[in-house]
Amino acid sequence: MVGEPIVILVVEDDPAHVEIIRRNFGASRLANRIISVEDGQAALDYLNRQGEYNNADKFPMPNLILLDLRLPKVDGLEVLRVIKSDPKLTTIPVVILTTSAAETDMVKAYEHHANSFLVKPVDFTQFSKLMDILGYYWVAWNQYPHEG
């Protein structure tokens, strides 16, 4: 993947949170492309290339998914369950990025094979710092298998 952009799918219904993610990942100057969808059904449509997401060039498969749990239409845990039970999607790392610190949500996320579970800080500065660290880890340090 050297020189190729890393595609990050952000599944988040709060536009302010999406903007924080975009700004922090963009400020890191790491080669990446961030695509966002606002609900769980749109995430599943994107990953299955259905409806408006049927163009693979315009909507490439993500290398990383940042997934909120509290989503309209289809809950984040259901999206995670579908991703991790589909052989063509299961290897995509999924980071749960949520405001919920509930132990039950964390347990369910890991039972459905989440790769990480992060609670969004309420404080803007702390949220930005978390995004800096997250972006650097997943985009700069984490290794991805070569396709093909």
Each residue's pLDDT tens digit, 103-129: 999 999 999 999 989 888 788 888 778
| Contact call for residues 72 and 78 (beta carbons, < 8 A) | no
Give the H/E segment covering residue 108: helix 103-111
Q: Please list the residues that pair with 117 across neighbouring strands.
A: 96
Taking the domains of the chain in order of start, what are their residue ranges? 6-141
Name residue 31's amino acid.
A
Gap between the Cα atoms of 83 and 89, Å rounded: 5
Each residue's pLDDT tens digit, 43-90: 999 999 999 999 998 999 998 999 999 999 999 999 999 999 999 999
User: Around Cβ 13, how many Cβ atoms within 10 Å?
Assistant: 18
Distant-in-sequence, close-in-space partners of 144: CB < 8 Å, separation ≥ 6: 1, 6, 63
Answer whether CATH 3.40.50.2300 is correct for domain 6-141.
yes
What does pLDDT average to over the chain?
86
Each residue's pLDDT tens digit, 12-32: 999 988 888 887 776 665 557
Gap between the Cα atoms of 12 and 19, Å rounded: 10
What is the model's pTM?
Answer: 0.87
